[in-house]
Amino acid sequence: MTRRVLVLNGPNLGRLGSREPDVYGATSYAGLVDACQSLGKELGFDVDVRETNDEGEMIRWLHEAADGSIPVVINPGAFTHYSYGMRDAAAQRTAPLIEVHISNPYAREEFRHTSVIAAVASGTIAGFGIGSYLLALRALAGEPTG
């Protein structure tokens, strides 16, 4: 039986590949989806990758995960730094929740150094490009990540 995993992406992540490739890399959003689903299949996961620019939709997805005890890999995007509603929804988790970032927020502008999600996440993986997501999926599978 495969276990369902939600990979949730916040604002502007649907523009991967064209959005600041020097920061976010050249992989398109479709490439991210393919990479997550391919590795997920190898690990025995049914990976559902989603992206939204809407804070309320992201909160509803986090409620869905909490209600279904579904593990989550989340890149909250800009919501990372200020969405207390999202933080409160993430705090209701009933399965592991791993925060990921493509870039290293601590090597960027100071406002990016604060995550309101990190304190309620199982862990955070940042700075490894699209590989951050793959490391998170491996961590959910219990595989060594380093």
Residues known to be catalytic: 24, 101
Instruction: Tell whether 112 is in a known binding site.
Output: yes
- In our burial notation (b when 16+ CB lie closer than 10 A, e otherwise), range 109-123 reads eeebeebbbeebbee
Give the whole-angstrom CA distance, residue 115 versus residue 6: 20
Instruction: Tell whether 115 is in a known binding site.
Output: no
Instruction: Tell whether 104 is in a known binding site.
Output: no
Instruction: Tell whether 88 is in a known binding site.
Output: yes
Q: Report the binding-site residues for substrate.
A: 75, 81, 88, 102-103, 112
Q: Report the binding-site residues.
A: 75, 81, 88, 102-103, 112
